[in-house]
Structure formats: structure tokens, C-alpha cells
């Protein structure tokens, strides 16, 4: 569902770039999610050309989650709709956050 939205929604609004709201801690969490649950040391790079030719960027990669700019940076941009990422209860990301204790 996420990958489908990642391609269809930007095309619908005429966007050629997609900015992820992943902050520093979110990127580290993704790395550990892959390590613990997939036995792989990998994370998506800060810039990536997606399968549907959109440029995906993480402009907040060097910002901490607690930085006020992280919470307000994207208010003027359209948000891909849906309950994605860690917005649901009982997700593996919650386990990783408990382990990392920040």
C-alpha cells in the first residue's frame, strides 16, 4: 500500500520529488528494524530515485526528532494520506524505540 501511494499520489498532484519526514532517530530506527527483524544491515539512502522515477529525499535526516523544525517543516506541503509507518499500535518500530531508549 505504501509503495503504491508513493508512486500514485505524487503523479496525481504533478510532483517530481517526494520528501520523507524521517528525522535522525527514524533513520537509525529503520536501520535497527532491518537488522533485528530482517537480518540485514541496510537503510534507505538520504536521496533515492524510486521505481516510478520520483526523487525521494529525506531533508530532515540530520535533525533530531525533538527539534521544533522537524514538527513544522512540512505544514505547507501535501501529505500522502493513509495510516502508514508507525502511526498504528503494536508495530515493530515501538519495540526498537524501547530498546534504543532515547
Q: What is the grid cell recorded at 57?
A: 529525499
Cβ-based burial of 88 (10 A; exposed 0-12, middle 13-18, buried ≥19): exposed
Q: Are 65 and 73 in contact (CB under 8 A)?
A: no
Return mean pLDDT, the chain. 78
> How much is the pLDDT for 69?
67
What is the percentage of the chain residues whose pLDDT exceeds 90? Answer: 3
Per-residue pLDDT tens for 56-86?
898 888 888 888 666 665 566 666 655 555 5
Adjacent-strand bridge partners of 55: 17, 49
Domain ranges of the chain: 2-100
> How much is the pLDDT for 40?
92
Nearest in space to 3 (alpha carbons), one of 49, 41, 50: 50
Place of cell 534504543: 100
Amino acid at each position: 500500500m505504501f509503495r503504491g501511494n508513493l508512486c500514485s499520489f505524487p503523479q496525481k498532484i504533478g510532483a517530481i520529488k517526494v520528501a520523507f519526514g524521517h528525522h535522525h532517530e527514524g533513520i537509525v530506527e529503520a536501520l535497527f528494524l532491518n537488522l533485528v527483524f530482517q537480518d540485514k544491515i541496510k537503510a534507505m539512502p538520504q536521496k533515492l530515485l524510486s521505481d516510478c522515477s520520483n526523487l525521494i529525499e529525506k531533508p530532515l535526516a540530520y535533525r533530531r526528532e525533538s527539534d521544533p523544525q522537524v514538527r513544522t517543516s512540512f505544514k505547507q506541503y501535501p501529505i500522502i494520506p493513509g495510516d502508514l509507518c508507525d502511526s498504528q499500535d503494536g508495530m515493530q518500530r515501538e519495540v526498537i524505540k524501547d530498546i534504543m531508549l532515547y
